[in-house]
Structure 1
Protein backbone atom coordinates (compact mmCIF):
# COMPACT_ATOMS: atom_id res chain seq x y z
CA UNK A 1 0.00 0.00 0.00
CA UNK A 2 1.20 3.50 -0.87
CA UNK A 3 1.22 6.61 1.26
CA UNK A 4 -0.36 8.64 -1.55
CA UNK A 5 -3.76 8.96 0.19
CA UNK A 6 -2.10 10.06 3.42
CA UNK A 7 -0.07 12.67 1.51
CA UNK A 8 -3.21 13.96 -0.17
CA UNK A 9 -4.97 14.26 3.17
CA UNK A 10 -2.01 16.10 4.69
CA UNK A 11 -1.90 18.52 1.76
CA UNK A 12 -5.67 19.13 2.00
CA UNK A 13 -5.34 19.67 5.75
CA UNK A 14 -2.55 22.17 5.11
CA UNK A 15 -4.71 24.05 2.57
CA UNK A 16 -7.65 24.19 4.98
CA UNK A 17 -5.42 25.37 7.83
CA UNK A 18 -3.95 28.08 5.57
CA UNK A 19 -7.47 29.17 4.68
CA UNK A 20 -8.33 29.24 8.38
CA UNK A 21 -5.18 31.30 8.94
CA UNK A 22 -6.48 33.86 6.45
CA UNK A 23 -9.71 34.02 8.44
CA UNK A 24 -7.63 34.57 11.59
CA UNK A 25 -5.80 37.47 9.92
CA UNK A 26 -9.14 39.00 8.93
CA UNK A 27 -10.37 38.53 12.50
CA UNK A 28 -7.36 40.51 13.71
CA UNK A 29 -8.33 43.40 11.45
CA UNK A 30 -11.98 43.17 12.52
CA UNK A 31 -10.95 43.28 16.18
CA UNK A 32 -8.70 46.29 15.52
CA UNK A 33 -11.51 48.21 13.81
CA UNK A 34 -14.27 46.92 16.13
CA UNK A 35 -16.25 45.70 13.11
CA UNK A 36 -18.68 43.41 14.92
CA UNK A 37 -20.74 42.46 11.84
CA UNK A 38 -17.61 41.32 10.00
CA UNK A 39 -16.33 39.57 13.12
CA UNK A 40 -19.58 37.61 13.45
CA UNK A 41 -19.33 36.50 9.81
CA UNK A 42 -15.69 35.53 10.29
CA UNK A 43 -16.64 33.44 13.33
CA UNK A 44 -19.18 31.58 11.19
CA UNK A 45 -16.53 31.04 8.50
CA UNK A 46 -14.15 29.80 11.16
CA UNK A 47 -16.69 27.24 12.40
CA UNK A 48 -17.19 25.96 8.85
CA UNK A 49 -13.42 25.57 8.44
CA UNK A 50 -13.15 23.73 11.74
CA UNK A 51 -15.90 21.32 10.73
CA UNK A 52 -14.10 20.62 7.45
CA UNK A 53 -10.78 20.12 9.20
CA UNK A 54 -12.36 17.71 11.69
CA UNK A 55 -13.86 15.65 8.90
CA UNK A 56 -10.60 15.58 6.97
CA UNK A 57 -8.68 14.67 10.12
CA UNK A 58 -10.94 11.65 10.68
CA UNK A 59 -10.32 10.63 7.08
CA UNK A 60 -6.54 10.98 7.57
CA UNK A 61 -6.67 8.83 10.70
CA UNK A 62 -8.60 6.16 8.80
CA UNK A 63 -6.03 6.23 5.99
CA UNK A 64 -3.21 5.85 8.51
CA UNK A 65 -5.06 2.93 10.12
CA UNK A 66 -5.57 1.28 6.71
CA UNK A 67 -1.90 1.78 5.81
CA UNK A 68 -0.67 0.30 9.08
CA UNK A 69 -3.05 -2.66 8.81
CA UNK A 70 -1.79 -3.33 5.28
CA UNK A 71 1.73 -3.40 6.75
CA UNK A 72 0.57 -5.89 9.39
CA UNK A 73 0.74 -3.45 12.30
CA UNK A 74 -2.04 -3.46 14.87
CA UNK A 75 -3.85 -0.12 15.09
CA UNK A 76 -3.46 1.99 18.21
CA UNK A 77 -5.62 4.72 19.72
CA UNK A 78 -3.47 7.48 18.24
CA UNK A 79 -3.04 7.06 14.48
CA UNK A 80 -0.27 9.55 13.68
CA UNK A 81 1.87 10.25 10.67
CA UNK A 82 4.91 9.75 12.92
CA UNK A 83 3.79 6.15 13.39
CA UNK A 84 3.65 5.73 9.61
CA UNK A 85 7.14 7.24 9.31
CA UNK A 86 8.46 4.72 11.84
CA UNK A 87 7.03 1.84 9.80
CA UNK A 88 7.95 2.99 6.29
CA UNK A 89 11.11 1.59 4.75
CA UNK A 90 10.99 3.44 1.43
CA UNK A 91 13.22 6.51 1.65
CA UNK A 92 11.30 8.54 -0.95
CA UNK A 93 8.01 7.98 0.89
CA UNK A 94 9.62 8.99 4.19
CA UNK A 95 10.94 12.21 2.66
CA UNK A 96 7.60 13.13 1.08
CA UNK A 97 5.71 12.33 4.25
CA UNK A 98 8.18 14.20 6.44
CA UNK A 99 8.01 17.31 4.26
CA UNK A 100 4.19 17.30 4.15
CA UNK A 101 4.06 16.83 7.91
CA UNK A 102 6.52 19.67 8.57
CA UNK A 103 4.59 21.96 6.25
CA UNK A 104 1.32 21.25 8.05
CA UNK A 105 2.93 21.69 11.48
CA UNK A 106 4.39 25.08 10.43
CA UNK A 107 0.97 26.25 9.26
CA UNK A 108 -0.66 25.05 12.49
CA UNK A 109 1.99 26.82 14.58
CA UNK A 110 1.43 30.09 12.68
CA UNK A 111 -2.32 29.69 13.10
CA UNK A 112 -1.92 29.08 16.83
CA UNK A 113 0.20 32.22 17.20
CA UNK A 114 -2.36 34.30 15.30
CA UNK A 115 -5.22 32.93 17.39
CA UNK A 116 -3.26 33.72 20.57
CA UNK A 117 -2.82 37.30 19.34
CA UNK A 118 -6.55 37.55 18.58
CA UNK A 119 -7.38 36.22 22.02
CA UNK A 120 -5.09 38.78 23.69
CA UNK A 121 -6.54 41.60 21.62
CA UNK A 122 -10.08 40.55 22.49
CA UNK A 123 -9.19 40.37 26.17
CA UNK A 124 -7.62 43.85 26.04
CA UNK A 125 -10.72 45.20 24.30
CA UNK A 126 -12.87 43.71 27.02
CA UNK A 127 -10.65 45.23 29.70
CA UNK A 128 -10.97 48.63 28.01
CA UNK A 129 -14.76 48.35 27.92
CA UNK A 130 -14.86 47.36 31.60
CA UNK A 131 -12.52 50.21 32.55
CA UNK A 132 -14.70 52.67 30.62
CA UNK A 133 -17.83 51.38 32.33
CA UNK A 134 -16.15 51.63 35.73
CA UNK A 135 -15.26 55.26 35.02
CA UNK A 136 -18.84 56.06 34.08
CA UNK A 137 -20.45 54.34 37.05
CA UNK A 138 -20.39 56.22 40.36
CA UNK A 139 -18.54 54.56 43.20
CA UNK A 140 -20.65 53.48 46.21
CA UNK A 141 -18.81 55.94 48.50
CA UNK A 142 -19.53 58.76 46.04
CA UNK A 143 -23.28 58.27 46.17
CA UNK A 144 -24.84 60.83 48.52
CA UNK A 145 -28.50 60.58 49.41
CA UNK A 146 -30.27 63.34 51.28
CA UNK A 147 -32.80 62.47 53.99
CA UNK A 148 -35.70 63.44 51.80
CA UNK A 149 -34.71 60.84 49.22
CA UNK A 150 -34.28 57.94 51.63
CA UNK A 151 -37.43 55.97 52.24
CA UNK A 152 -37.94 52.67 53.93
CA UNK A 153 -36.91 50.92 57.11
CA UNK A 154 -33.86 53.13 57.70
CA UNK A 155 -36.07 56.01 58.86
CA UNK A 156 -37.83 55.71 62.21
CA UNK A 157 -41.20 57.36 61.65
CA UNK A 158 -44.12 56.66 63.84
CA UNK A 159 -47.24 56.27 61.83
CA UNK A 160 -49.43 56.22 64.92
CA UNK A 161 -50.01 59.27 67.05
CA UNK A 162 -49.70 57.97 70.59
CA UNK A 163 -51.25 61.10 72.10
CA UNK A 164 -54.57 60.68 70.39
Structure 2
Protein backbone atom coordinates (compact mmCIF):
# COMPACT_ATOMS: atom_id res chain seq x y z
CA UNK A 1 0.00 0.00 0.00
CA UNK A 2 1.13 3.54 -0.60
CA UNK A 3 1.01 6.19 2.11
CA UNK A 4 -2.16 7.71 0.59
CA UNK A 5 -3.94 4.38 1.10
CA UNK A 6 -2.76 4.24 4.70
CA UNK A 7 -4.09 7.74 5.40
CA UNK A 8 -7.54 6.74 4.10
CA UNK A 9 -7.52 3.53 6.13
CA UNK A 10 -6.32 5.40 9.22
CA UNK A 11 -9.01 8.04 8.73
CA UNK A 12 -11.81 5.49 8.31
CA UNK A 13 -10.55 3.66 11.40
CA UNK A 14 -10.46 6.95 13.33
CA UNK A 15 -14.06 7.69 12.28
CA UNK A 16 -15.14 4.21 13.41
CA UNK A 17 -13.38 4.70 16.76
CA UNK A 18 -15.09 8.07 17.20
CA UNK A 19 -18.44 6.37 16.57
CA UNK A 20 -17.54 3.68 19.11
CA UNK A 21 -16.60 6.38 21.62
CA UNK A 22 -19.92 8.17 21.07
CA UNK A 23 -21.91 4.96 21.58
CA UNK A 24 -20.02 4.21 24.79
CA UNK A 25 -20.70 7.74 26.06
CA UNK A 26 -24.42 7.18 25.43
CA UNK A 27 -24.23 3.83 27.23
CA UNK A 28 -22.56 5.57 30.18
CA UNK A 29 -25.36 8.17 30.27
CA UNK A 30 -27.87 5.32 30.34
CA UNK A 31 -25.95 3.72 33.21
CA UNK A 32 -26.28 6.99 35.13
CA UNK A 33 -30.01 7.09 34.36
CA UNK A 34 -30.27 3.52 35.62
CA UNK A 35 -28.49 4.50 38.84
CA UNK A 36 -31.04 7.24 39.49
CA UNK A 37 -33.93 4.90 38.64
CA UNK A 38 -32.58 2.31 41.09
CA UNK A 39 -32.15 4.95 43.81
CA UNK A 40 -35.68 6.31 43.34
CA UNK A 41 -37.17 2.86 42.67
CA UNK A 42 -38.69 4.12 39.40
CA UNK A 43 -39.44 0.84 37.66
CA UNK A 44 -40.85 2.47 34.51
CA UNK A 45 -37.65 4.44 33.87
CA UNK A 46 -35.57 1.40 34.80
CA UNK A 47 -37.43 -0.77 32.29
CA UNK A 48 -37.07 1.82 29.50
CA UNK A 49 -33.38 2.26 30.31
CA UNK A 50 -32.74 -1.48 30.16
CA UNK A 51 -34.36 -1.64 26.71
CA UNK A 52 -32.26 1.29 25.47
CA UNK A 53 -29.12 -0.29 26.91
CA UNK A 54 -29.73 -3.44 24.88
CA UNK A 55 -30.03 -1.35 21.70
CA UNK A 56 -26.74 0.43 22.43
CA UNK A 57 -24.97 -2.80 23.37
CA UNK A 58 -25.98 -4.33 20.03
CA UNK A 59 -24.83 -1.20 18.18
CA UNK A 60 -21.49 -1.27 20.03
CA UNK A 61 -20.98 -4.94 19.12
CA UNK A 62 -21.64 -4.15 15.46
CA UNK A 63 -19.33 -1.12 15.40
CA UNK A 64 -16.63 -3.08 17.25
CA UNK A 65 -16.80 -5.82 14.61
CA UNK A 66 -16.45 -3.15 11.92
CA UNK A 67 -13.51 -1.65 13.83
CA UNK A 68 -11.83 -5.04 13.96
CA UNK A 69 -12.23 -5.45 10.19
CA UNK A 70 -10.82 -1.95 9.56
CA UNK A 71 -7.93 -2.52 11.98
CA UNK A 72 -7.14 -5.80 10.24
CA UNK A 73 -7.05 -4.07 6.85
CA UNK A 74 -5.06 -1.15 8.26
CA UNK A 75 -2.49 -3.34 10.01
CA UNK A 76 -2.55 -5.93 7.24
CA UNK A 77 -2.88 -8.86 9.67
CA UNK A 78 -5.45 -10.92 11.56
CA UNK A 79 -4.11 -10.75 15.11
CA UNK A 80 -3.08 -8.02 17.58
CA UNK A 81 -5.63 -5.57 16.21
CA UNK A 82 -5.39 -3.28 19.23
CA UNK A 83 -5.48 0.47 19.17
CA UNK A 84 -1.91 0.45 20.49
CA UNK A 85 -0.81 -1.51 17.43
CA UNK A 86 -2.53 1.05 15.20
CA UNK A 87 -0.74 3.86 17.03
CA UNK A 88 2.61 2.20 16.38
CA UNK A 89 1.92 2.00 12.65
CA UNK A 90 0.30 5.42 12.22
CA UNK A 91 1.76 8.53 10.66
CA UNK A 92 2.56 11.29 13.20
CA UNK A 93 -0.68 13.23 12.59
CA UNK A 94 -2.79 10.09 12.98
CA UNK A 95 -0.77 8.89 15.99
CA UNK A 96 -2.04 11.85 17.99
CA UNK A 97 -5.67 11.21 16.98
CA UNK A 98 -5.36 7.51 17.82
CA UNK A 99 -3.73 8.34 21.16
CA UNK A 100 -6.48 10.78 22.11
CA UNK A 101 -9.12 8.22 21.15
CA UNK A 102 -7.35 5.55 23.19
CA UNK A 103 -7.32 7.84 26.20
CA UNK A 104 -10.99 8.81 25.76
CA UNK A 105 -12.11 5.21 25.24
CA UNK A 106 -10.15 4.09 28.29
CA UNK A 107 -11.76 6.83 30.41
CA UNK A 108 -15.32 6.09 29.29
CA UNK A 109 -14.79 2.35 29.78
CA UNK A 110 -13.57 2.98 33.33
CA UNK A 111 -16.58 5.22 34.02
CA UNK A 112 -18.90 2.54 32.61
CA UNK A 113 -17.25 -0.14 34.70
CA UNK A 114 -17.68 1.93 37.87
CA UNK A 115 -21.29 2.85 37.05
CA UNK A 116 -22.14 -0.79 36.35
CA UNK A 117 -20.50 -1.88 39.59
CA UNK A 118 -22.58 0.69 41.51
CA UNK A 119 -25.76 -0.39 39.71
CA UNK A 120 -25.00 -4.01 40.54
CA UNK A 121 -24.60 -3.12 44.23
CA UNK A 122 -27.84 -1.11 44.21
CA UNK A 123 -29.66 -4.01 42.57
CA UNK A 124 -28.31 -6.49 45.12
CA UNK A 125 -29.37 -4.19 47.96
CA UNK A 126 -32.86 -3.86 46.49
CA UNK A 127 -33.15 -7.64 46.17
CA UNK A 128 -31.93 -8.12 49.74
CA UNK A 129 -34.51 -5.60 50.94
CA UNK A 130 -37.28 -7.43 49.06
CA UNK A 131 -36.10 -10.75 50.46
CA UNK A 132 -36.00 -9.42 54.04
CA UNK A 133 -39.43 -7.82 53.60
CA UNK A 134 -40.87 -11.07 52.28
CA UNK A 135 -39.33 -13.04 55.16
CA UNK A 136 -40.93 -10.65 57.63
CA UNK A 137 -44.34 -10.88 55.95
CA UNK A 138 -44.34 -14.61 55.31
CA UNK A 139 -43.90 -17.00 58.22
CA UNK A 140 -41.41 -19.79 57.77
CA UNK A 141 -42.76 -23.23 56.94
CA UNK A 142 -43.07 -25.44 59.94
CA UNK A 143 -40.82 -28.42 60.21
CA UNK A 144 -42.37 -31.49 58.54
CA UNK A 145 -41.79 -33.46 61.75
CA UNK A 146 -43.96 -31.08 63.78
CA UNK A 147 -47.62 -32.00 64.21
CA UNK A 148 -49.95 -29.65 65.98
CA UNK A 149 -51.75 -31.26 68.93
CA UNK A 150 -54.83 -33.10 67.68
CA UNK A 151 -53.95 -32.29 64.07
CA UNK A 152 -52.85 -34.59 61.34
CA UNK A 153 -49.67 -34.47 59.28
CA UNK A 154 -51.78 -34.14 56.13
CA UNK A 155 -53.16 -30.72 57.08
CA UNK A 156 -52.66 -28.24 54.22
CA UNK A 157 -49.52 -26.15 54.50
CA UNK A 158 -49.72 -22.43 54.09
CA UNK A 159 -47.35 -21.57 51.25
CA UNK A 160 -46.76 -18.46 49.30
CA UNK A 161 -46.98 -18.23 45.52
CA UNK A 162 -43.61 -16.51 45.73
CA UNK A 163 -40.63 -18.58 46.85
CA UNK A 164 -38.35 -16.04 48.47
CA UNK A 165 -35.46 -18.51 48.42
CA UNK A 166 -35.35 -18.57 44.63
TM-score band, normalised by shorter chain: 0.7 to 0.9
Q: Which has the higher contact order (CA 8 A, sep 6+)?
A: 1
Q: How does 1:112-131 map to 2 (within 5 A)?
A: 112-131=113-132
Within the candidate set 42, 65, 72, 1:65 is matched to 72
In the aligned structure 1, how far is the partner of 2:150 from the partner of 2:142?
Answer: 19
TM-score by length of 2: 0.80
In the aligned structure 2, how far is the partner of 1:44 from the partner of 1:103?
Answer: 26
Q: How does 1:36-51 map to 2 (within 5 A)?
A: 36-51=43-58
Q: How does 1:100-111 map to 2 (within 5 A)?
A: 100-111=101-112
In the aligned structure 2, how far is the partner of 1:123 from the partner of 1:147?
Answer: 42
In the aligned structure 2, how far is the partner of 1:145 from the partner of 1:133?
Answer: 25
In the aligned structure 2, how far is the partner of 1:25 from the partner of 1:151?
Answer: 53
In the aligned structure 1, how far is the partner of 2:97 from the partner of 2:43?
Answer: 42
1:9 and 2:38 equivalent? no
In the aligned structure 2, how far is the partner of 1:83 from the partner of 1:37?
Answer: 44
Runs of 4+ residues deviating >6 angstroms:
none
Q: Report if the CA contact (8 A) 1:61-1:79 is conserved.
A: yes
CA 1:131–1:68 in 2, change beyond 3 Å: closer, same or farther?
Answer: same
What is the CA distance between 1:145 and its match in structure 2? 6.1
Q: How does 1:81-100 map to 2 (within 5 A)?
A: 81-88=83-90, 90-100=91-101
Paired residues, what number?
146
What RMSD in Å do the two structures reach over aligned CA positions?
A: 2.1
1:75 and 2:82 equivalent? no
In the aligned structure 2, how far is the partner of 1:139 from the partner of 1:39?
Answer: 32
Q: Report if the CA contact (8 A) 2:147-2:153 is conserved.
A: no
In the aligned structure 1, how far is the partner of 2:24 from the partner of 2:127?
Answer: 28
Q: Report if the CA contact (8 A) 1:11-1:104 is conserved.
A: no
Structure 2 match to 1:138: 139
Q: Which runs of 5+ in 2 are unaligned?
A: 1-5, 156-166
